[in-house]
Amino acid sequence: MTGRPTLTVSTDDPTPPYEQLRRQLSDLIEYGVLGPGERLPPLRQLASDLGLAVGTVARAYRELEVAGLIISRRGGGTRVAVNPRRASEEVLHERAAIFVRDARLLGADDEEIKSAVTRALGR
Partner DNA sequence: CAAGTTGTCTCAAGTAATTGACACAAAGGC
Partner DNA sequence: GCCTTTGTGTCAATTACTTGAGACAACTTG
Residues in contact with DNA by CB under 7 A are: 14, 16-19, 40, 42-45, 51-56, 58-59, 61-62, 65, 72-78
Does 89 engage in binding with a copy of itself (CB under 8 A)? no
Nearer to DNA, 29 or 52 (CB): 52
Nearer to DNA, 54 or 98 (CB): 54
Query: What is the C-alpha separation between 60 and 34, in angstroms, rounded?
Result: 16
Residues 14-43 within binding reach of a copy of itself (CB under 8 A): 14-16, 18-19, 24, 27-28, 33
- How far does Cα 65 stand from its chain's mean position? 12
Residue 39 DSSP SS3: strand
E strand map for the chain: 39-40, 70-73, 77-80
| Signed CA dihedral, 47, 26, 65, 60: sign only | positive
**Which residues lie near a copy of itself (CB under 8 A)?**
1-8, 14-16, 18-19, 24, 27-28, 33, 101, 104-109, 112
